[in-house]
Amino acid sequence: MAAQQGKELLLKIHDGTDYQLIGGFTSNNFTINGETVDVTTKDSAGFKEYLDGAGVRFISTTGEGVFMNDAAFGVAHGYVLAGTHPDCQLIVPGFGTYTGRFAIKSLQMTGTQEGAVTYSFDLESAGVITFA
């Protein structure tokens, strides 16, 4: 994969009809996690062993930006209040798209007297994630 511009790493949230780009982001990131199941015993010759195919895999993503009164923020706000998990897309330029349901773990807005209103998201996968 060739070098890519950071602004091309995108997060979209489904509004019931289509995927909407979360606007106003100044930064966002994601992590693919794979928890393991340790099966090390005295017979492991002093090396740690893990059980193949076991453990929990999940993707977590965060983002922050300037509040632009965009529709996607309102959609996310609605999902948080309803306690439901929206379909989202994480788009990695030149690589592919991760798609699936995500729990919105936090949605925060901040404002200072001299600055713009900013917001931040913290999401974690809430089911199977596909990659294409």
Nearest CA to 67 among 110, 113, 13, 30?
Answer: 110
Residues 63-118 have pLDDT tens digits of: 898 887 677 778 888 999 999 999 999 998 889 999 999 999 999 989 989 988 88
pLDDT digits (tens, 9 = 90+) for 10-23: 899 998 899 988 87
The answer to whether residue 1 sits within a structural domain is no
Range of the domain at 118: 6-131
10 part of a folded domain? yes
Please give the single-letter amino acid code of residue 54.
A
Q: Is residue 105 part of a domain?
A: yes
| Total domains present in the chain | 1
